[in-house]
Amino acid sequence: MMSKSSSMNSKISELHREISNLKKQLEDKENELRDLQSSLHTTDRDTEEGLTRDDIMRYSRQMIVPSIGVSGQNKLKGGAVLIIGCGGLGCPAAQYLAGCGIGRLGLVDYDVVELSNLHRQLLHSESTIGIPKVTSLAEALHRINSTLRVEEHNIQLDSSNALELVSQYDVVIDASDNVATRYLVNDACILANRPLVSGSAVGLEAQLTVYNYNGGPCYRCLFSSPPPPETVSNCSDVGVVGPVPGCIGVLQALQAVIILTGNGNVLSQRLLLFDGEQTNFRTIKIRGKSESCAVCGSNPTITQLIDYEQYCGAPANDKERRLNLVDKTERVTTHELNEAIKNSEPALIIDVRSPIEFEMCSIPGSINVPLKDLERQQIQDDVRERWNKLKAEASNESKVYVICRRGNDSQLGLKQIKQFLSCPAYDLIGGLHAWSRDIDPSFPPY
């Protein structure tokens, strides 16, 4: 007789299949609708350069602005922008470029929509979870503007495809979230002679500038070599408040409009800084083009794209980084830790995440000692006191387990703890992400 759980799993699988079929039918109908709408918008007044009756009706409020006008609107219609990254920055940038009448928009992303994206990537939705981001975003953009030509590039950008892709567009928007991609996109834009609108956002702070424009500096002029991988953070590590990347993504779209129309101040050799906590914008001057720059200087040493993951020592994505900072004998698996907990083995489980993360979710019995606090003498004394108490009360050998979100910070924490505490101590491989995957599916990965 089929168990209740087996019956439920069977029903869940059946519903997944039905949903997939319905999504395919919806996609087919949306494509059919777009084709009909595009045919409807085609009139005898269409020319390659000119504006249609519908164009004038749609963009009239924008064309009335003197810096745009008919000439500027025609330039937008004939313009092509490549957006690299369809997330928190890429979504608002794409939305406003689609709305203001850009002719051709290229979207680059290798990832699929996840639930954790939706608080800030507002053109994706619950119904598109699991769908490639480029497809989800393209569908949303066509709902905004059915005449927009959207080109989906569902690929991992690398040195084998970046230069050819960048060369097909007039302006490039870097909405990526990792150092390797920033160097790759910068170098490709220099080699293809394309202006690069670069934005970033993390926490409540963000910044924006334009590289390789009218003799201005490039990314390498300011950052000639990449930072150590363990010092780099992104919104996945330290969080981001939803509206913050929205602000910068919209401004990236505006910079692309200014570049294409040729009217307005381009943020070249200037850096726009946004402090969301204080709701404050300020612009600072940055140094100009470096003659010794490896890619845009007078004697460049980089004349073709290189292996940027190797160069930066980090992957060209925001997925889980796998740092190996301690010996494998000082690491345990989720199953080993779970067995220790189940067998009530004497253990001090130290969670080095931030207090907010610990409050969100934690392993029962663990204590919170944030990584940044481990250098404080008072905290070290407290950990030492807890360890001595555990050891005195235990009949078996006591151990310390250090855990974090992904198994990276815990290695740093383990190294610090071993400097002031002599004990058998271990790092949890894969952190709480692995714990959720292997041991407790109800534990929320984030």
Task: Tell whether 177 is in a known binding site.
Answer: yes
Cβ neighbors of 104 (< 8 A, separation 6 or more) are 79, 80, 81, 149, 150, 151, 169
Q: What is the distance between the alpha carbons of residues 62 and 80, in angstroms, rounded to a whole number?
A: 19
Instruction: Please tell me the chain's helix, strand, coil percentages from 3-state DSSP, rounded to the nearest 5.
Output: 45, 15, 40
Q: What is the DSSP string of 380-423?
A: HHHHHHHHHHHHHH-SSPPEEEEE-SSSSHHHHHHHHHHHH--S
**Which helix (H) or strand (E) segment is 271 a member of?**
strand 270-275
Backbone angles phi, psi at 354, to 5 degrees: -70, 160
251 close to 199: Cβ distance less than 8 angstroms: yes
Task: Tell whether 178 is in a known binding site.
Answer: yes
Determine which one of 86, 235, 247, 312 is catalytic: 235
Using CA atoms, how far residue 407 sits from 148, 161, 394, 401, in Å, is 44, 32, 27, 12
Q: Where are the beta strands (DSSP E) in 143-202?
A: 149-153, 171-174, 196-202
Q: What is the distance between the alpha carbons of residues 26 and 390, in angstroms, rounded to a whole number?
A: 60
Q: Which of 290, 426, 436 is nearest to 349 (CA)?
A: 426
Q: Which of 251, 274, 244 is nearest to 120 (CA)?
A: 244
354 close to 362: Cβ distance less than 8 angstroms: no
404 an active-site residue?
Answer: yes
Task: Tell whether 293 is in a known binding site.
Answer: yes
Q: Is 430 left (phi over 0), alpha (psi -120 to 50) or beta?
A: left
**Which helix (H) or strand (E) segment is 379 a member of?**
helix 377-393
361 an active-site residue?
Answer: no
Task: Tell whether 109 is in a known binding site.
Answer: yes
Task: Tell whether 296 is in a known binding site.
Answer: yes
Task: Tell whether 85 is in a known binding site.
Answer: no
- Per-residue tokens: 390: 């555990």
Task: Tell whether 187 is in a known binding site.
Answer: no
Q: Which of 226, 219, 220, 170 is nearest to 195 (CA)?
A: 170
Backbone angles phi, psi at 102, to 5 degrees: -60, 145
Task: Tell whether 218 is in a known binding site.
Answer: yes
Using CA atoms, how far residue 96 sits from 162, 253, 261, 409, 424, in Å, is 24, 6, 15, 38, 56
Determine which one of 86, 100, 189, 404 is catalytic: 404
Place of tokens 């969670």: 351
Binding site as annotated, residues for ATP: 88, 109, 116-120, 133, 177-178
Binding site as annotated, residues: 88, 109, 116-120, 133, 177-178, 218, 221, 293, 296
Catalytic residues: 235, 404
Binding site as annotated, residues for Zn(2+): 218, 221, 293, 296
